[in-house]
Copies of this chain bind each other. A is one copy, B any other.
């Protein structure tokens, strides 16, 4: 049976680290603050918002809820977004998406200031993931995969890593983050030929194929570390499943994240840690010893 790389202790560790940083910032008169911008009353949005608020409370991050009606006027929405963009008391903005059809998602994404883009969706954040600059933030799920590897002391340097999936929210950014950590990274996707041959060469496999239980023992070998980023409801089994066929994988590989209880458990904590980091970036590096 593989070692289970559970998310809960990673989230706990990150939470405790961030509590200290948030407290140090608050002591200096900077209370890390997340603005959550929600349009309408979609249950998914409300549930995600609640989760984020709970994590904020735990860590000591203030929340400013900005809730606009589903039929908010076009100009009024962008004025409000600009207002929180410019509000110096707000360090991070979580814009719940997709926005209603009458608003322009792309325009909103482009307006958002990268330095407040704790969700890693702006061009500034994505360029920084690519260039390895400290501007904006990596998409939270990609970062959560890295936090898990770090917590369990799985060194990536010189390791062969295969990422299955090339989405902008996970596959591509996680590949870049791992490359910046000196892994030799291969990205597989739907057009990859003889994928099993490639995935079996990986020391670390990050699975974000977007297809439930699609990666079974055919693609795996003994001793591998498997990070399963997928999550979806399996109607047949009546439970949440990842993109890895966990039941067969667990008896072959060396270590694996469970679903649920793996990467997903860490994602919201990463989001809130980005708010703390955004606030900390206001302080010059030379003056940050107590915070970082």
A residues with CB within 8 A of B? 123-124, 126-131, 135, 157-160, 166, 168, 172, 176, 179, 182, 184-189, 191-193, 198
Q: Which B residues are in CB contact (< 8 Å) with A186?
A: 184-186
Q: Which B residues are in CB contact (< 8 Å) with A168?
A: 130-131
A129 to B135, CA, bound (A): 17
Q: Looking at the complex, which one of B124, B160, B182 makes contact with A123 (CB distance below 8 Å)?
A: B124
Q: Looking at the complex, which one of B126, B157, B185 makes contact with A131 (CB distance below 8 Å)?
A: B126
Query: Are the C-beta atoms of A191 and B157 separated by less than 8 Å?
Result: yes
Chain B residue at smallest Cβ distance from A122:
B127
Query: Are the C-beta atoms of A179 and B184 separated by less than 8 Å?
Result: no
With A123-B127, A158-B193, A166-B179: A187-B184 Cβ-Cβ less than 8 Å = yes
Given A131-B168, A184-B198, A186-B186, output 20 extra A-B contacts at Cβ < 8 Å: A123-B123, A123-B131, A124-B127, A126-B131, A129-B130, A130-B172, A130-B176, A158-B191, A158-B193, A159-B193, A160-B193, A160-B198, A172-B176, A172-B179, A179-B189, A182-B191, A184-B186, A184-B188, A184-B191, A185-B186
